[in-house]
Structure 1
Amino acid sequence: MKSAVTQIRQGEKPKMSGKIIECVPNFSEGRRPEVIEAIVAPFRGRQGVRLLDYRADADHNRLVVSLAGEPGPMTKALLEACEIAVKEIDLNMHQGGHPRIGAVDVIPFVPVMGIDMKACVDLAREFGMRFYDAFKVPVYYYEEAANNPQRKNLEKIRKGQFEGLKTAIKEESRRPDLGPAALHPTAGATVIGARKFLIAFNVNLKTDDIEVAQKIAQYVRASSGGFCHVKGIGLVLKEKGMVQVSMNLVDFQKNALYRVVEMIRMEAARWGVSVAECEVYGMIPAQALLDSAAYYLQLNDFKPEQVVELALLGSGGEA
């Protein structure tokens, strides 16, 4: 499978109404097409659930699925997909560039329409119990659903990854929210939560020197004194012969894409390195792209309403 695949077909757009959430489950599989397709299958053509996008990357060895739908149908489809992932993915054999602690690594619920964050927190905790009861995979709650303020950040829960958590899970501060202080032997543990919309954004550099990517990631991420709403790590892209600054922008309105890109471009120049390309992994709000377009084109007083498609959507399709 290609490193970035969007699979949206005619006939796979079931109608939705009422409360709408977004969910972006991440699975630790990016190399076996048959397993990827099996995991995604429960989301296809399902009433109350829309498969927006899915992307599998061999270097990351990770599958990211973007969904929108109603809470009931969404959670039912998620359980079916998770059953396949738990059965087919053995983290003892898993190798990839992206941090992970579980075959089903993380499941965030995001309020979109007719539902607030509190309801998404309740949904995350209810789903966590159903998930644990079904698969006996320990569960950690994160972001707004965190029971422990020290566990709001995903990177703290995933510290040491699957291999390190095998022993660290016995420590009082690392015990899961659901389940015993022991990982599932092959599926590890799963992080489930509720959060705001984030943008998974990568900047690939024209070098194979991982130290450059790691240093730049350190400069841009909040935990090292960089942008306050950016998380980032440096990864090797063996297939492309490059390295990557892989990021999550958790508030694009406070830290715009173009600002992050220009910071990376400036820091890379110190090593005589240039930006090869950028990647949006999964879905992105139109406003985030328009902000960057307005910046680079130096547009004066540009408004989203000037985009034909957005204007039509805003008017219900009537010109």
Structure 2
Amino acid sequence: MARLVECIPNFSEGRNKEVVEKIVDAVRKTEGAKLLDYSSDASHNRSVVTFIGTPEAVEEAMVNMAEKVYENIDMRNHKGEHPRMGALDVVPFVPITGVTMEECIEIANRVGKTIGEKFNIPVYLYEKAASNKGRENLATVRKGQYEGFFEKIKDADWKPDYGPCEVNEKGGCVAIGARVPLIAYNINLDTDNVEIADKIAKVIRHLGGGLRYVKALGVKIEDRNMAQVSINVVDYQKTALYRVFEMVKMEARRYGVNVIGSEVIGLIPMGAIFQTAEYYLQFENFSTEQVLETRIWE
């Protein structure tokens, strides 16, 4: 069995295509790493990359990408709808085949140490790699964003795991971790009132008493003059995607608002699609063995 790790770095540039390509090329040029997907969002001013490879290749590709990020992105000039704390904002490692979560935690630590020392960037470990319980949740780590970290980092509780104890003005800070597969999922509303999207987000997310494995916030998509509920489903096997979609629709109706579409950012596990199809089509005898491509791949 091949030993494969997935890495899904998010960086703070979604408008300059030339810069995005320079950064993504770092993965393309790393032997043993395979670029699976990348997408950019101008309103969020953010790009999400997905690549896969052997543990050694993924580790090398991520450091190569970090170098291009810090060469080309200046956080002092960055504006966007999505919360962010640095040029290279978040780097999760996900075990796929033949690799344990513990090995991904080790990769997160090695990459974190390298980025901290080589690029002079404060590094915070999160999720399974977190150095303490208070740093497991990415939203907690990123709270205050880039602008707020200049004060936050002075608190002894927020001493970085690696790198300097002061914010790099150009590069900011970065969160690096290990986790199970996550689905980045956005739901669009037929209103430009971002307060409604934010109210819905507060109700559906775990911190607000909502769905256990959901993180969410309301944002405004300026180029479409539209409010959006931006969601991370951190464990789709325990909180199915269709439950998230239906709960957003239900809450939206309270405000006379409709869902007009949704989008997946990056890649989505096939199992999440199977769950959704089984629910909406009310299959009584469904099995993944009935999917043509599944049988062909066998």
Q: What range is the shorter-chain TM-score in?
A: over 0.9
**Pairs within 5 Å for 1:181-192:** 181-192=165-176
**Pairs within 5 Å for 1:178-217:** 178-217=162-201
The aligned counterpart of 1:9 is none
Q: 1:137, 1:235 → 2: CA distance? A: 28
1:73-123 CA deviation, whole Å, 9 max, x = no partner? Answer: 212121121111112111111000111101000111000011100111111
8 A contact 2:120–2:164 mirrored in 1: no
The aligned counterpart of 1:96 is 80
SS at match of 1:290: helix
Q: Measure how far apart 1:45 and its partner are.
A: 5.7
More helix by share: 2
Which of 265, 269, 275 aligns to 1:291? It is 275
8 A contact 2:6–2:58 mirrored in 1: no
Indicate the percent of aligned positions where both proteins have the same amino acid. 46
SS at match of 2:76: coil
The aligned counterpart of 1:67 is 51
Query: Which residue identity does 1:119 align to in structure 2?
Result: E
1:39-71 CA deviation, whole Å, 9 max, x = no partner? Answer: 000122643111110010001110100111111
1:171-194 CA deviation, whole Å, 9 max, x = no partner? Answer: 111121112321011100111111
Change (3 A) 1:308 1:256: same
**Pairs within 5 Å for 1:220-299:** 220-299=204-283
Q: 1:181, 1:170 → 2: CA distance? A: 8
The aligned counterpart of 1:31 is 15
Whether 1:302 and 2:286 are equivalent positions in the alignment is yes
The aligned counterpart of 2:135 is 151
The aligned counterpart of 1:138 is 122
Query: Which residue identity does 2:203 align to in structure 1?
Result: Y
Q: 2:158, 2:175 → 1: CA distance? A: 13
Whether 1:87 and 2:64 are equivalent positions in the alignment is no
Unaligned runs of 5+ in 1: 1-16
Q: 2:111, 2:29 → 1: CA distance? A: 22
Report the TM-score, using the length of structure 2 for normalisation.
0.98
Unaligned runs of 5+ in 2: none
Which of 3, 11, 22 aligns to 2:6? It is 22
The aligned counterpart of 1:52 is 36
Query: Which residue identity does 2:185 align to in structure 1?
Result: F
Query: Which residue identity does 2:8 align to in structure 1?
Result: V
RMSD: 1.1
Which of 109, 118, 125 aligns to 2:109? It is 125
Query: Which residue identity does 1:84 align to in structure 2?
Result: K
Query: Which residue identity does 1:288 align to in structure 2?
Result: A
SS at match of 1:228: coil
The aligned counterpart of 1:4 is none
Report the TM-score, using the length of structure 1 for normalisation.
0.91
Query: Which residue identity does 1:199 align to in structure 2?
Result: I
SS at match of 1:67: strand
Query: Which residue identity does 2:67 align to in structure 1?
Result: E
